Structure 1
Amino acid sequence: MGLLVEDYRRIADAVAADITAGRLRPGERLPPQRAFARRRRIAASTAARVYGELARRGLTVGEVGRGTFVRAGAAEPALADPGGAPVDLQLNFPVLPTQSALLSASLATMLRPDVLAEALQAGGVTGTAAARAAVTELLARDGWRPSQILFTGNGKQSLAAVIAALVPVGGRLGVEALTYPVVRTICGRLGVTAVPLEMDEHGVLPDALRAAAVHAVYLQPVLHNPLGVTMPAHRRAEVVAALDVPLIEDAVYTFLADEPPLAALAPDRTVLVDSLSKRIAPGLTLGFVVPPPDLFDEIATAVRGGGWTAPRFAVDVAAHHIADGTAAAIQLAKRADAAARQAIAADRLAGFAVRADPRAYHCWWELPPPWRADTFAAAAAREGIAVTPAAAFAVGAAPNAVRLALASPPPDVLSTALDVLAGIARGTPDLSP
């Protein structure tokens, strides 16, 4: 067994050396795995391990229906910091120019000595009565209201705690075939396998849920990241009927859309997760978990055990912003801002295959040939624009697309950047090393 491991790594080293030396150029397609196996006189299973090792090292990228290609540039972690790119269309944290004044006025009363003294006390996973009441009103919609709430430091911590509670080490979590990259990372850290579930234009397929042997399922039913898909009512009912394991519902973008949660249809087995990072600001965040009664203690234990309990100060500040209407005012302004940015994208990228919801802060661009996602991202980076190729979201082979996060640049900068990207897409790739 040790010899076989050494053999596939030695072959991967040889291919990697060809890439580094320029004998295999950026954008060049590798032969199909069976052809590679015949050429190298190795087993097909060994060829598969070689290709997997090259992808793990960030040297190649696989694309659905097209094959495996040498990357156009150095691999980066999924949704990494854009590294100082002048225009960030990679990370999606909307912060409006007017919201600092609103938050400052709201925070003024928090600075009273008696109020501050309370906020600086130790916190707990269930927050305070005032915070629970405020967050209940924040999350309630279409007749559904949270019955119990747990507080974490941010949405990522909420997801980590819920996955840790519901899926054992070595277990399996069903996720959409294109999913939030942080969930993949959390799964890797927790020793959990992310199992891709097939999707269509309405979201995850019910048959894929029925066929999956998993401990739990993670879904984004509203303004899916990266596709922008929102499940229609008929698909919601079908998904709930197909589920026989706990569902983790990511509601982080629901502040932009009035849609009922899946938790309203399956309250006994749905854990809803949300946060303030996009509703308000990434520097003033708080995570929420709304578990069914039977899972409350288990998830609360995971929050405590993971060290993910929210600071009392963050809980009190959030409760204050919600109770005095500041959070609602920012949310309303962000809805208008997202719609305006989508209108800019629709205008500047007219004629291209762009999938978008007019309420969302992101869109999904299926690139025209001969472009591939990684070569396009590299070309955009040379123009100072950071975009995210589909491989960052894919559990398995990636489609030939990029996600554009529209929230960060000022509108005039966004418009200019999209013009530049459209110009790149109308040209041809530069495949020089």
Structure 2
Amino acid sequence: MPDLSAAAGPHSDRPLATYKAIADAIGTAVADGTLKPGDRLPTHRDLAWHLKVTVTTVTRAYQEARRRGLIDGEVGRGTFVRDPEDTMAAAPNSLPAASARPVMDTPEDGGPVNLSINCPPLTLQREALAHTLADISRSNMMQQLLSYQYETGMREHREAAADWLGRVGIHATPHTALLTCGAQHANSIAFTTLARPGEVILTEPTTYPGTKSMAAQHGVRLEPVAVDEHGLRPDALDEAIRHHAPRALYTMPLLHNPLAYVTPEHRLRDLAAVLARHSLPVIEDDVYGLLVPDRPPPLKCLLPDLTIYVTGTSKSMAPGLRVGIMAVPEMLFSRMAAGVRASCWMVPPVMGEVMRRWVQDGVADAITAELRRDVQERRAEVDALFAEATAFAPHLESPQGHPYSYHLWLPLPAPWRAESFVATAQRMGVLVLPGESFAVGRHRPPPAIRLCTGTVGGLTRLREGIRLLARAVTSQPEDLMAMV
């Protein structure tokens, strides 16, 4: 057992909180070689007994050490020291340095082409918002919109949310439709409602980095479930439930981020059968759902009493319109509403009113239709440019992903590593995210990047970025050149 007794205990004179002192001691032991990569740390209970502290204190200490990238844990095996040279084992609530990006593409400042941010372009939204705000200013609602509201949101806003959920086949009422400050906020409330710190939520082996950060912040452990070209494998899900005893499954079956696949209905029904057999709750993240015409039914339609369905306006209406929409099992509604009250008190009523008017006036449907047209046009341009690039880079693969997806997955040819490619691409003037940013637990995806086509303002800028990517692929990795 590593000697951590100097860090805590009844005779400790350290001014830090005990759990931070234990995490510091782990860091010191790693730095001086006392703890080596792969060394196993004591169980929470054993270390708590040894240091004469509570198990909760040790749990917080291990969470802090994991946040710093010092250790990692695996159910059934224990807690181990990470290899500091393993750049893919970054702290779970942080992204690699190369992923720190400006929010929007800014061609006017001569900066790099930003294909790293996943959001739809602005098409009809500017003019629509100007008209909507003018109409609101002339209405008799100003007093109401500028006052506090209930945490559940104004009833007419929840009625509009229920109407919007009906677009994907979900039957909701104002008693089961809940508004949040964006889908990320909705997922956060779902996580904290279903799982406590140290407990497990299952998910795909690669997932949205914001979900990884959120889970780490709440102390929830994400464990990966194997996928194939159709999404989660039912046999792997059944095995993971038996092995990890999770509190829930978090999944993105439609336009999965980052792999951009759509899980077909027959697979969804097989997954629903497994989940029903184990009575496992589901957090279904469907923020891109309305972009796909003739889509399969949401899991919410197959498992209405087990599924917390999450969508929002940022991907289907406008990135800055931060209204999350949840379809919640009625028995969980009051608990999740309490989560809204505790975390933000209420959704800004003005945003809720814009959402309501756009849904009821048909503006939201018009924006969605325009985005469907736009994403197909951009995808056709990307496919043509990659086909053109294979003339001088025959080993370059085409991006993978559904035709209605604004984000795509690009496998990298040998000998590229994703991190070094991202750094090279950035120096050449284009921003993308490495596949490792999306990895869950010990899963390591093959070298790949995610590229997003929606942030750039037009096709000219998109062409520039794709051509720069193709040129980067044909260059020589610097770490390989250093070996020659």
TM range (shorter): 0.7 to 0.9
2:192 is aligned, of 154, 164, 169, to 164
Show the 5 A alignment for 1:398-413: 398-409=445-456, 410-413=458-461
Show the 5 A alignment for 1:99-248: 99-112=125-138, 114-141=140-167, 143-147=169-173, 148-212=176-240, 213-243=245-275, 244=278, 245-248=280-283
In the alignment, structure 2 segments of 5+ residues that lack a partner are 5-24, 38-76, 391-396
Aligned to 2:303: 266
Cα RMSD between the aligned structures? 2.7
CA contact (8 A) 2:151 2:338 kept: no
Give the alignment's TM-score, normalised by structure 1.
0.83
Show the 5 A alignment for 1:25-424: 49-51=81-83, 53-55=84-86, 60-61=87-88, 75-76=96-97, 80-81=101-102, 85-112=111-138, 114-141=140-167, 143-147=169-173, 148-212=176-240, 213-243=245-275, 244=278, 245-258=280-293, 259=295, 260-307=297-344, 309-350=346-387, 351=390, 352-395=397-440, 396=442, 397-409=444-456, 410-424=458-472
CA contact (8 A) 2:291 2:371 kept: yes
Structure-2 change in CA distance of 1:167 and 1:13 (3 Å): closer
The answer to which structure, 1 or 2, has the higher relative contact order (CA under 8 A, 6+ apart) is: 1
CA contact (8 A) 1:348 1:419 kept: yes
- Equivalenced residue count is 389
Partner amino acid, structure 1, of 2:446: P
Partner amino acid, structure 1, of 2:270: E
Of 348-357 and 310-319, deviating more is 348-357
1:192-236 Cα deviation digits (max 9, x unpaired): 101111111011111222122210010001100000111011110
CA contact (8 A) 1:373 1:389 kept: yes
1:284-335 Cα deviation digits (max 9, x unpaired): 2211111111221221222222226311221112111211111111111111
Of 314-323 and 362-371, deviating more is 314-323
2:463 is aligned with 1:428: no
CA distance in structure 2 between the aligned counterparts of 1:393 and 1:268, rounded to whole angstroms: 29
CA drift of 1:394 comes to 0.6
Aligned to 1:65: none
Instruction: State percent identity of aligned pairs.
Output: 32
CA distance in structure 1 between the aligned counterparts of 2:312 and 2:98, rounded to whole angstroms: 23
CA distance in structure 1 between the aligned counterparts of 2:249 and 2:427, rounded to whole angstroms: 38
Structure-2 change in CA distance of 1:267 and 1:257 (3 Å): same
CA drift of 1:10 comes to 2.5
CA contact (8 A) 1:8 1:46 kept: no
CA distance in structure 2 between the aligned counterparts of 1:11 and 1:361, rounded to whole angstroms: 46
In the alignment, structure 1 segments of 5+ residues that lack a partner are 16-44, 63-67, 69-73
1:258-292 Cα deviation digits (max 9, x unpaired): 32211000001000011111222222221111111
CA contact (8 A) 1:11 1:50 kept: no
CA distance in structure 1 between the aligned counterparts of 2:159 and 2:233, rounded to whole angstroms: 36
1:400-422 Cα deviation digits (max 9, x unpaired): 10000110112111012101111
Structure-2 change in CA distance of 1:145 and 1:2 (3 Å): same
1:59-85 Cα deviation digits (max 9, x unpaired): x236xxxxx9xxxxx932856546975
CA contact (8 A) 2:98 2:419 kept: no
Partner amino acid, structure 2, of 1:325: G
CA contact (8 A) 2:435 2:447 kept: yes
CA contact (8 A) 2:429 2:468 kept: no
